[in-house]
Amino acid sequence: MGKSTGFMEYKRQVSGAKGPLERIKDFNEFHTPLSEAKQKEQGARCMECGVPFCQSGVVLAGMVSGCPLNNLIPEWNDLVYNGNWHQAYNRLKKTHSFPEFTSRVCPAPCEAACTCGLNDDPVSIKENEMAIIERAYVVGWALARPPRIRTGKRVAVVGSGPAGLAAADQLNKRGHEVTVFERADRVGGLLMYGIPNMKLEKHIIDRKIGVMEEEGVIFQTGVDVGQDVKAKKLMKEYDCVILACGAANPRNIEAPGRDAEGIYFAVDFLKSTTKSLLDQGLAEGTYISAKGKNVVVIGGGDTGNDCVGTSIRHGALSVTQLEMMPKAPDKRADNNRWPEWPKVCKTDYGQEEAIAVFGADPRLYQTTVKEFEKDGEGKLSAVVTVGLEWKKDPQTGRMNMVTVEGSERRLPAELVLIAAGFLGAQSYVAEAFGAKLNARSNVDTPAGGYLTCVDNVFTAGDMHRGQSLVVWAIREGREVAKAVDEHLMGYSNLA
């Protein structure tokens, strides 16, 4: 283990962050890493429990507990403490394709399941992960290592999000020739255009893509498979095809006035900002702007928070975030015991910034939209909200959310951003290949499998399991790679 008394001697420390009023001046990442000495102390806190829940990746009470990648966390915590960084990198990469991404954007179910967290603060696992991978790039351990032998097999991956990239990376390492098709102008899927720069600067993605290209992976951007390229062509030219297009159908809000000008899906808003930032340095008129506007964000999750932070950086006049559910407790409830995911109230970076700028938490709980108001020109002018409460249905006995009489409230708004989640895959790609969708609009496969009803056509990631975490997408990408490898070769040595 790290240090037998480390968890008693050292307190949890994480990287420092710029103050909210300072960091909203730009779109850069705003954390400062710990020193090497401090990072070793954090590695020393790991108890290396007899049962390391941190790497379990099991589902408890409907939510994941521990790392879905089954990362060898106690091992590399110990190696960080002892200063054996090269071996720490080797152990990290044994189970993980992209620690440079997850150490920035993963919500860390590993830390939620850390045994230290039962009576104290959990080990700073994400911090250690980032320290390992960033050192690996600086020293040269993370440089390209092309496969020595090629199998002669060709695989097409449709979609360059974390699942598609993980599959491509693994299959290329095995020696197959892999081509990744991406309909956007840049590789990365939601990593590129769905996650703001301040959480994941895009040169981090480009750095890894550059390594993969040196190793032999071919990337084709601006290619919409099913539209620009026919499915039959890919199936003829490649031995296998992997569909990893994500869950790209945003959930809509159906309310009177929905056709008003000024209502956008969150993913379109965030993409426009990142694309303009990368292409034109956020020149006026090149993105959906919140500058000088009253903004209402519908949705209380991570994407909603990203919309809050992005709107503030634009210079929004005000930002309000609507959340249908009640406010979560500040501490674990008695029926939410460790190592379950802690269902507690989280104030994220965007909400912190809203509090600093506007003087109050932007979230309105148990609230939804009743109507969108528009002016004489059809432009959005206000949002009428209504309160919600839980009530038992006398017929079924189930608890349902119902509107509260007389709770209407009018919020001035010139911009509404819908961040209410996603409803499954866009069907045209699956239909082009003849793959079936299930009742949840995900590509259908046998339970625990990745092969669709079409021979040689596989699927993985959010397109397969529905909207989920980046770390689950990476796991599915690695698992579909193994399934494809076995399909092509009769066996697989992929982890």
Angle between the N-to-C axes of helices 36-44 and 73-81, in degrees from 0 to 180, rounded to the nearest 10: 130
Task: Please state, in angstroms and rounded to a whole number, the distance separating the CA atoms of residues 312 and 356.
Answer: 11
Split at pLDDT 50, 70, 90, the class of 295 is very high
The residues with which 363 forms a beta bridge, in sequence order, are 321
* pTM attached to this predicted model: 0.95
353 CB-near residues (< 8 Å, 6+ apart): 20, 21, 23, 24, 308, 309, 312
C-alpha 364/C-alpha 370 separation (Å) is 14
Res 50 pLDDT > 90: no
Q: Which pLDDT belongs to residue 419?
A: 97
Average confidence score pLDDT of the chain: 96
pLDDT category of residue 233 using cuts at 50, 70 and 90: very high
In this structure, which amino acid lies at residue 204? I
CA angle, 177 then 99 then 83, to 5°: 120
CA-nearest of 143, 128, 130, 279 to 202 is: 279
pLDDT tens by residue, 347-363: 999 999 999 999 999 99
Residues in the chain: 495
CB 228 within 8 A of CB 428: no
User: How confident is residue 1, by pLDDT bands cut at 50, 70 and 90?
Assistant: low
Q: How far apart are CA 232 and CA 234, in angstroms?
A: 5
Please give the pLDDT value at position 62.
87
* Structure token pair of residue 105: 């954007």
pLDDT of 2 above 80: no
Would you say residue 246 has pLDDT above 80? yes
Cα–Cα distance, 440 to 194 (Å, whole number): 22
Element containing residue 417 per DSSP (H, E)? strand 415-418
pLDDT band, residue 4 (cuts 50/70/90): confident
What is the pLDDT confidence band of residue 112, given thresholds at 50, 70 and 90? very high
pLDDT at 32: 94
11 CB neighbour count, 10 Å cutoff? 11
Work out the average pLDDT over 415-431.
94
pLDDT value of residue 369: 97
The DSSP H or E segment spanning 411 is strand 409-412
All structural domains of the chain: 6-139 (1.10.1060.10), 154-248+429-489 (3.50.50.60), 263-418 (3.50.50.60)
**Which residues lie below 8 Å from residue 364, measured CB to CB, with a gap of 6+?**
320, 321, 322, 323, 385
Nearest to 351 by CA among 365, 336, 340: 365
CA atoms within 13 A on the CB side of 21: 5
**Residue 382 in tokens:** 């206000």
Q: Are 97 and 170 in contact (CB under 8 A)?
A: yes
| Amino acid of residue 155 | V
pLDDT band at 265 (very low <50, low <70, confident <90, very high): very high
Contact 251, 420 (CB under 8 A): yes
Mean pLDDT of 192-207: 98
Non-local (6+) Cβ contacts of 207 within 8 A are 100, 137
pLDDT, tens digit (0-9, with 9 covering 90-100), for 117-132: 988 999 999 999 999 9
CA distances from 38 to 13, 34, 42, 45, 143 (A): 8, 6, 6, 11, 26
Percent of the chain whose pLDDT exceeds 70: 100
Q: How confident is the model at residue 250 (pLDDT cuts 50, 70, 90)?
A: very high
